[in-house]
Amino acid sequence: MSGSALADTAALATLLLPMMRERGYPLSSSSGLVAAGGIIAPIIPPSMPFVIYGVVTNTSISQLFLAGMVPGLIMGAGLVVAWTMIARKIDEPSQEKATGAERRQALVNGAAALMLPVIIVGGLRGGLFTPTEAAVVAAVYALAVSTLLYRELSLGGLIEVLTRASRTTASVMFLCAAAIVSGYMITLAQLPDEIALMLGPLAQDPKLLMVAIMVLMIAIGMVLDLTPTILILGPVLAPIAVKAGIDPVYFGVMFVLIGSIGLITPPVGTVLKVVGGIGRLRMETLVRGVAPFFVIYLAIVVLLIAVPSIITVPLQWLR
């Protein structure tokens, strides 16, 4: 819904952690699941990192949105597999199941909200609006639904939402400004040339190049947030990948996906810190809980590198 890993994680953690704690689920596994689920937001529309990556590398944002849907679904399936394995060791609390009527009512109540991503993807796919215009359409639609249909957003709530959006935008702009300065210093130090020289011999083997970039991105993701990573390394690595014959949209999806995994790795791990702040959990507990999901995500990355057609074939169909 938001396209931001931090925003989605904060919303999920606020809602789900108290419920899971009340029902007796282990705090480490619960927090790990919520954190791992939060980083799917940058991979599926409306992804904010895709917008930033598309701007700085001159890659089609619409195609990035479309290409991210299949990997996002695979990540969701990976969480199901990981939780199924974890749940075997948990004495899951019994709870009263919802009736068929309650489920149908919940689906009807949530239908208007669930139409938001459908409108975004459908509008982009149908050529009705650009990614920038899609953001405006999504904002207006969400405002109309929350005020006129659900009637849950008051004037005071709207002011708070606009204030928080302004703060988020300002923080991103400060990050962009800092990244521009960092990028200038990196250019002066000829670091892009050094990286290109280091990765140049691997250009003959696209898969080996992707593995090297994956290792580099995971290492950088441990100490740098996703947005600065995109702003600094995106313009450096994207031309190298294109020169090696890698599809630029495929590379963009993989770049953001691997960078997103860095959000759940210490010592920075901004998504872990969001979950820890809401659940008042120590970093050790969070790292222990997210480890199984981290392994699953690494396996998905390896799969997508070994079989790029998982992304490129559905993208061709969607195009």
Report, in angstroms and rounded to the nearest whole number, the Rg of the chain calculated over CA atoms: 20
**H or E segment at 42?**
none
Please tell me the distance from the alpha carbon of residue 59 to that of residue 195, in angstroms, as a whole number.
21
| Half-sphere exposure of residue 21: CA atoms within 13 angstroms, side-chain side | 14
- Geometric angle at alpha carbon 248, from 247 and 252, rounded to 5°: 120
Residue of 256, 214, 250 whose CA lies nearest to 234? 256
Please tell me the distance from the alpha carbon of residue 314 to that of residue 319, in angstroms, as a whole number.
8
Dig out the tokens for 269 from the structure. 């791990």
Cβ atoms 42, 50 nearer than 8 A:
yes
Cβ atoms 221, 263 nearer than 8 A:
yes
Please tell me the distance from the alpha carbon of residue 180 to that of residue 60, in angstroms, as a whole number.
22
> What does the DSSP assignment read for 89-142?
TS-PPP-PPPPHHHHHHHHHHHHHHHHHHHHHHHHHHTTSS-HHHHHHHHHHHH
Other CB atoms within 10 A of residue 295 CB? 12
**Full pLDDT tens readout for the chain, 319 residues:** 677 888 888 888 888 988 888 888 888 899 999 999 999 999 988 788 998 899 888 898 889 988 998 999 999 999 999 999 888 887 766 677 788 888 888 888 888 888 887 888 788 777 788 777 877 888 899 889 888 888 888 888 889 888 877 876 776 677 667 656 766 776 677 776 777 777 767 777 888 888 888 888 888 888 888 888 888 888 888 888 888 889 999 999 999 999 999 899 988 788 888 888 888 888 889 999 999 999 999 999 999 999 999 998 888 876 6
Please tell me the distance from the alpha carbon of residue 243 to that of residue 241, in angstroms, as a whole number.
5
Cis upstream peptide for 46 (omega within 30°): yes
Residues belonging to the chain: 319
Cβ atoms 183, 190 nearer than 8 A:
no
